[in-house]
Structure 1
Amino acid sequence: MATNPTAELKGTVAATGTETSEDAARHVDHGLRAWTVVAGAWCCLFCGFGWVNAIGIFQDYYQAHQLRTYSASSISWILSLEPFILFAAGLVIGRVFDNYGPKWLLLIGTFLHVFGLMMTSISHEYYQFILAQGICSPLGASFVFYPALSCTATWFDKRRALAFGIVSSGSSLGGVVFPTMLARLLPRIGFGWSLRISGFMVLAMLIIANLTVRSRIAPVPRPVKLTDYVGPFSEIPFILLMLASCCGFFAMFVPINYVIVEAQEDGVNRDLAGYLLTILNAASLPGRILPGYLGDKLGRFNVMIAMCALSAVVLLVLWLPGTLLSPGSAAIYIVFSLLYGFASGAFVGMVPALLSQISPDVTKTGVRQGVLFTCISIASLTGSPIAGAILSRQNGTYWGLQVFAGAMMVGSVFFFVAARVVLAGGSIGKKV
C-alpha cells in the first residue's frame, strides 16, 4: 500500500508495506533495530576500511621480504589498489544496493574478502599480490562497505553524523587491531599464517554483519539510467564536496603508508616505529565519533572544515619541519601520529554524512555514494604512488612527499569552505 513520505527524512522516501508515515518517523533515529544496524555496519568497516587502514605495515614488510627487489613506488601500487577498488566498485555496487538491497552484496563480499586474504597468504610473486591483495580482497570489502553506509543512512536523520561516526570508528579500531596483531604474528608464525588468522577474524565479524545489517527502506528497482550517474555533477554542492574529498584522500593515505618507513630510516627504534600506524589509527577513533556528534549540533560542514584545517596544520607545521629539524626524534613521530590520526579521522565518517545532507532522496543513496567514492578512488589510487615517485626523485628525502600531502589537504579545506558558502551564503554563524 502506498503511503506518504516520511517528513523526518526531508526527502522522497516512501514508507513501505503497511508502515505508516508516523511509524517510519518513529523508527528514524531511535530503537534497538536502528542501533543493531549500526553495530553490524561497524563490523563491516572494521573488516573493510579497517583492513585498508592497516596496509602501511605491508609497505615496510614487502620492501624487506617478498618484494625486496621492487621499488617503494611499485610496492605502493599494490597497497593503493586496495582503497581504489574499495571505493571505485561503488559505481556498480551502489546501484545494485538501491535495486536489490544489502543481502546478496554482504554474502558475496564476505566470500571475496576472506578468499582474497587466504590467497594473499600463499602469494610469492608481484602479480599474485596484485590479484589477491590488490583486487580480490578489497573488492569483497567494497561489497560490504557500501551496504553498511547506505543502510545506516536509512535509519537516521538528526543523528545521522553521529551514527556514521560510530560506524566509521570500526575502521579506526580495525586499523589498530590488524597492524598490532600482524606486527606480533609476522616474526613469530610467518606471513602465511598471519594472513590466514586475519582472514578468519574477518570471517567471524562479517557473519555478524550478515545477520544484522538491514535497510529500513525497501529496495526500489529502477532501470539503469545515465542520468543517475551524471546528474549529481549538475549540482554545485556535490561537485565541491567531490573536489574537497578527492583532495583530502590524495593526502590521507600518504602518512599511513610512509610514516613507518620514514621513522625507521631516520633511526627510530624499529619496534616503536612499527606501532606508529597503530597509534595513528587509535587516535582516529575519537576523530571519527566526536566530529559526528559535534556535526549534528553545530553543522556538519562547519565541523568538517575545522577538522580538515587541523589536518593541514599537522602535516605542514608538525610533520614537515619536525622531521627535518629533529630527524630520528621518536617524540615527533608519536605526536604527529596522534594529532594526524585524530584530525584525519573525520573524513571516513563525515563525508557520507555530508553527502546525505545534500541528497534529498534516500532511495538513491547507494548510487550517489558510488559516484562520489568512485571519484575519490582515483585520488586513493594515485596519491601514494605519486608520493613514492616524489620520494624516489628526491633520493629518499621525505620533505617533497610531505609538502604534497599538505598542499592537497589545504586544497580540501578550500573546497569545503566553497561548498559551505554555496549552501549558506556569507552567514558565518549558520549551522550548515
Structure 2
Amino acid sequence: MPEKDKNPVDISNSSTANNYIKRTSNEVDLIIENPKLDIQEESKLPPLDKGYAWVIMFACFINIVFAFGSFSAFGVFQTYYLKITFLNVPAETIAWISTLSIFFTDAGGLLAGPIIRRVGIRYTSILGTVISTIGLVLASFSTKVWQLALTQGLIFGLGCSIIVNIAYTVPALWFNKRRGFAIGTIASGGSFGSLIIVPIVTGISNSYGIGWSFRILAILFFVVTLVGGMLLKPRTEFKPVNKVIEFELLKDPVTIMICIISFFVEIGLCIPMLYFPSSLIDIGVEKDLATNLIMVFSAFSAISRILSGYLAQRISPVNIIIVSNFISGTIMMAMWYTSRSFGVYLAFYILLGMFSIQFFSLGPVMIANYYNDDKISQVNGISYMAMGLAVIVGIPSVGAIFQKYGKRRNYSQIIAITSACYLISIIFLVGLRYYTKKRKSN
C-alpha cells in the first residue's frame, strides 16, 4: 500500500486539509502540495493548473516531440537498413540497433531521480540533451551494425531516457485537476514529432544519405530540447528518492501489475512500428510512401492521445486502456494478418494509431494519481525499465522468428505475437482495476 495510505493525515485541521493530497483511482481530489507548507507559504507558490504550469506543459511537450518522435524516424532507418544498407546482414542482427536504442531510452530513466536530487530538474534535462546529441552525431559516421548499436542505441538512448523521465514527472508537480489533459497532451508530442521528423529524415536520406539525416536530426534535437530543458523548474522543492531502484516499490502489487502491462504492451507496439513499413513495401507500395505513412499513424495517435487525456478526467484511465488494447489486439489479426490489400492496411494503420498507444499516454497519469510526488519519477522509471526488458527479450526474438520462419517476407508469425501481447495485457489491466478499487474501498 502506498505510503500515504499507511500514514493517513488528519484533515480536520483546515491548514492540513488545504495541503494534503487525497488521490483516488481516477482523479486527484484535493490540492497537491507538501504537507509541511502552511497556508501563507502555499499562497506564495505559483498556482496549479494555470500560469507557468502551461509553460511546463509546453517545455515537456517539445522535449517529447524529439525524444519519442525520433523513434518514428528510426522506423525509416530500420527500413533503410533492411532494404539498402545491410542487405546481407540477418534481420535479428539489424534488430539490435533499435533494440538497444529503445531499451536504454526505457530503462535508463531510473538514473534521472538521483541526478535530479543533486543538480535539479533543469540541469538534468540539459545533461540528457548533450548525451543524446553526442549519440546522434557519432551515429552519422557509423557504418557497421555494432557501431550503430553503440551510438544510436546506447548513447542516444541513455540521454533520451533522462529527458523522457523528466517530461512525465514534472507535470505532476504543476497540475491537479487538468493533470490527465496535460500528460496526454505531452504524450502526443511523440506523434507530432513523427509528423515533423519523418519527412525531414526521409527527404535528407534520399538526397544526401543516412549520415546527413543523423546530423540534421542531431542539430534539431539539441536546439529544441535545450530550450525545453531551460524552461523546466519545480513548483516547490522537489527531492525524488535518492536511489536508482527503491526495492520496496517492487513489492507493491500495483507496481508489479503496471510493469507486466508495460512489458507486453511495449512488445505489442514495437513490432508494427518496426515492421509494418517494410510489410507495405512487400505488398508493392513504394518505399517513400511506406515510410511516409508513418505520419498517418502519428497524426491519428496524436489526436487520440490528447482526447484520451481529456477523457481520463472523467473516465478511469484503466477502462480506457482495456478497451483500446482489446481493439488493438483484434485488428492485428482481423486486418494485418488476413489481408494484403493497401486499403485494408491503411485502415489498419489509422486504427492502430488511435488505439495502440493509450497505455503510453495514460500509464503516467495512473502513476501520478496513485503515488506520492517523490515516488513518481521512480515508478515511471521502473515501468519504463519493464519496457526496456521487453525490448531486450522481445525484439531480437521477433527478428529471429522473422528471419527463420518468415524468410524476411512472411509477417504472419510476428503479427500473431503482437496481437497476443495486447490481449494478454488486458488480463493484468482488469486485475489492476479490481485491486485498486478494492484498496480504495478498504
Asked if structure 1 preserves the Cα contact closer than 8 Å seen for 2:19 and 2:38, the reply is no
**CA deviation string 1:77-101 (max 9, x = no partner):** 1011111101111222233335543
Counterpart residue type for residue 415 of structure 1: F
In structure 2, C-alpha distance between the alignment counterparts of 1:35 and 1:12, rounded to whole Å: 17
Q: CA deviation at 1:221?
A: 6.8
| 1:261–1:115 CA distance, 2 compared to 1 (3 A) | same
In structure 2, C-alpha distance between the alignment counterparts of 1:204 and 1:90, rounded to whole Å: 21
* 1:88 equivalent in alignment to 2:100: no
Q: What residue in structure 2 maps to residue 404 of structure 1?
A: 417
Asked if structure 1 preserves the Cα contact closer than 8 Å seen for 2:185 and 2:306, the reply is yes
Matched residue SS, 1:54: helix
**CA deviation string 1:277-299 (max 9, x = no partner):** 22212211012111111111111
| 1:16–1:184 CA distance, 2 compared to 1 (3 A) | farther
Residue correspondence of structure 1 range 96-175 to structure 2 within 5 A? 96-98=115-117, 100-175=119-194
* Residue number among 64, 89, 92 corresponding to 2:83 in the alignment: 64
Asked if structure 1 preserves the Cα contact closer than 8 Å seen for 2:45 and 2:236, the reply is no
Q: CA deviation at 1:223?
A: 4.9
RMSD across aligned positions (CA): 2.5
Q: What residue in structure 1 maps to residue 276 of structure 2?
A: 259
Q: CA deviation at 1:13?
A: 4.8
Q: Figure out how many residues of one structure are paired with residues of the other and give that number.
A: 417
Q: CA deviation at 1:331?
A: 1.0
Deviates more, 1:192-201 or 1:271-280: 271-280
Counterpart residue type for residue 166 of structure 2: P
Deviates more, 1:335-344 or 1:400-409: 335-344
Counterpart residue type for residue 295 of structure 1: A
Q: What residue in structure 1 maps to residue 58 of structure 2?
A: 39
| 1:320–1:25 CA distance, 2 compared to 1 (3 A) | farther
* 1:238 equivalent in alignment to 2:250: no
Q: CA deviation at 1:26?
A: 7.4
| 1:417–1:111 CA distance, 2 compared to 1 (3 A) | same
In structure 2, C-alpha distance between the alignment counterparts of 1:311 and 1:221, rounded to whole Å: 35
Q: CA deviation at 1:373?
A: 1.3
* Residue number among 253, 271, 294 corresponding to 1:277 in the alignment: 294
Asked if structure 1 preserves the Cα contact closer than 8 Å seen for 2:238 and 2:374, the reply is yes
Q: What residue in structure 2 maps to residue 198 of structure 1?
A: 217
* 1:217 equivalent in alignment to 2:231: no
* Residue number among 336, 344, 347 corresponding to 1:332 in the alignment: 344
Counterpart residue type for residue 258 of structure 2: L
Counterpart residue type for residue 118 of structure 1: V
Q: What residue in structure 2 maps to residue 350 of structure 1?
A: 362
Residue correspondence of structure 1 range 289-368 to structure 2 within 5 A? 289-322=306-339, 327=340, 329-359=341-371, 361-368=372-379
In structure 2, C-alpha distance between the alignment counterparts of 1:221 and 1:80, rounded to whole Å: 29
**CA deviation string 1:204-223 (max 9, x = no partner):** 21122122122223132755
In structure 1, C-alpha distance between the alignment counterparts of 2:44 and 2:338, rounded to whole Å: 53
Counterpart residue type for residue 266 of structure 2: F
**CA deviation string 1:46-101 (max 9, x = no partner):** 11111123311111101233323211111111011111101111222233335543
* Residue number among 392, 397, 406 corresponding to 1:386 in the alignment: 397
Asked if structure 2 preserves the Cα contact closer than 8 Å seen for 1:249 and 1:379, the reply is yes
Matched residue SS, 1:296: coil
Matched residue SS, 1:14: coil
Deviates more, 1:245-254 or 1:310-319: 310-319
Q: CA deviation at 1:171?
A: 0.6
Counterpart residue type for residue 368 of structure 1: V
Asked if structure 1 preserves the Cα contact closer than 8 Å seen for 2:249 and 2:379, the reply is yes
Unaligned runs of 5+ in 1: none
Asked if structure 1 preserves the Cα contact closer than 8 Å seen for 2:337 and 2:415, the reply is yes
Counterpart residue type for residue 19 of structure 2: T
In structure 1, C-alpha distance between the alignment counterparts of 2:104 and 2:303, rounded to whole Å: 27
Counterpart residue type for residue 201 of structure 2: L
Q: CA deviation at 1:21?
A: 6.4
Q: What residue in structure 1 maps to residue 428 of structure 2?
A: 415
Q: Structure 1 length as normaliser, TM-score?
A: 0.90
Residue correspondence of structure 1 range 21-36 to structure 2 within 5 A? 22-23=42-43, 27-28=47-48, 30-36=49-55
Q: Structure 2 length as normaliser, TM-score?
A: 0.88
Q: CA deviation at 1:234?
A: 2.2
In structure 2, C-alpha distance between the alignment counterparts of 1:17 and 1:198, rounded to whole Å: 44
In structure 1, C-alpha distance between the alignment counterparts of 2:373 and 2:270, rounded to whole Å: 30
* Residue number among 264, 267, 271 corresponding to 1:250 in the alignment: 267
Asked if structure 2 preserves the Cα contact closer than 8 Å seen for 1:6 and 1:25, the reply is no
Q: What residue in structure 2 maps to residue 52 of structure 1?
A: 71
**CA deviation string 1:3-40 (max 9, x = no partner):** 95733565995168887465389722x22200100000
